[in-house]
Amino acid sequence: MDKKGGFVISLDFELGWGVQDTNRDGSYDGNLHAVHTVVPRLLELFSKYAIHVTWATVGMLCVTSKTDLIQYLPCEKPTYSNTVFSSYEIMPSIQDKDPRYFAASLVELIKNTANQEFATHTFSHYYCVEDGQTKEQFISDLKSAKKIAQQPLKSIVFPRNQVNKDYLSICQKEGIRAYRGNPKHPLFKSEQFLDGWHFKRIYKIADSYLNLTGHHTFSLQQIEKNHIWNIQASAFLRPYYSRLKILENLKLKRIVKSLQYAAKNGEIYHLWWHPHNMGKNIDENFEFLEKVLVEFTKNKEKYNFQSYSMSDVVKNLEINN
């Protein structure tokens, strides 16, 4: 990948485990149920354009039922000061085969589709910088993630992008070689979860439509290693909102310009989102994503721009080091 740029896509595949603290009223359930439609459709689209993708998956969704999950539970569970963050708090209320929380068939589909990397989003959607949790609890969680995955895990995406640098050496010891870091801008630094509307959230949304913080692309030589490689994010693919329909072209232009910049300069552009983000306005979201992939293909043909999973980038790093 010396002078060739690359387009990295990583997905935070989490189902209800990723929103269990913010979806207690069930208002987001429609998006969660729709994931069972979204994932096969994503895989079909990625196959059409030969797109390599990292699927960072919460371990708890890898089985068919709560009964099956019990055998994989970690010895130590997180003791968050705010117990609402714990996935284990809601387990008694979950039905045995609730599709909002279990998706073994989708996991197998991902694993059996070409160019897709199965990675980890921790076992329990573990929050690495929230008060009360400990290093020992994270180790226990990660071991359960490895056990339930039933295959080696080479990449990790920390839930809610809470990168705890003290935990990177643990990831290395467990065989993980890469993580998705945050863009290098104060707006995106790792911090405890803050729900609701606030200045930083509004600024992040605006940045999805207008280039307020830069392209956040990077060369192979600029990738940093702190025990494991930091394949940092460039942008979040914000879903379609009918109220912001008039701004969809601006959102596309924002992504296309960054893709072009990366391709022309031999750099990497890393786009991420959650499958459940596409669970509402599905057709509109897929129409937009296909436009992005068409633009990628144009850059591939013109600049030899490539598609990479996070693990693919690591392979290139290790070849060149």
Instruction: Name the pTM for this structure.
Output: 0.95
Pure H helices in the chain: 29-48, 66-69, 104-111, 135-149, 168-173, 199-207, 248-264, 282-303, 310-319
Question: Measured in whole angstroms, how far is the alpha carbon of residue 151 from the centre of its chain?
Answer: 19
Distances (CA, A) of 210 to 23, 47, 235, 291: 29, 30, 12, 18
The pLDDT of residue 1 is 44
The pLDDT of residue 200 is 77
The pLDDT of residue 272 is 98
The pLDDT of residue 195 is 58
- Render each residue's pLDDT in the chain as its tens digit; 321 residues: 445 789 999 999 999 999 999 999 999 999 999 999 999 999 999 999 999 999 999 999 999 999 999 999 999 999 999 999 999 999 999 999 999 999 999 999 999 999 999 999 999 999 999 999 999 999 999 999 999 999 999 999 999 999 999 999 999 999 999 999 998 877 776 565 665 556 777 888 888 998 989 999 999 999 999 999 999 999 999 999 999 899 999 999 999 999 999 999 999 999 999 999 999 999 999 999 999 999 999 999 999 999 999 999 999 988 876
> Are 61 and 68 a contacting pair, CB within 8 Å?
no
The pLDDT of residue 184 is 84
Q: How far apart are CA 172 and CA 137, in angstroms?
A: 16
The pLDDT of residue 204 is 85
Cβ-Cβ contacts under 8 Å for 198 (sequence gap 6 or more): none
Question: At CB < 8 A and 24+ separation, what contacts does 22-27 make?
Answer: 22/195
Q: How far apart are CA 35 and CA 27, in angstroms?
A: 15
Residue count of the chain, please give it: 321
Reading the block at residue 60, the tokens are 């708890």
> Are 148 and 285 a contacting pair, CB within 8 Å?
no
Please classify residue 69 by burial: count the beta carbons closer than 10 Å to its beta carbon, then call 0-12 exposed, 13-18 middle and 19+ buried.
buried
- Amino acid identity of 277? N
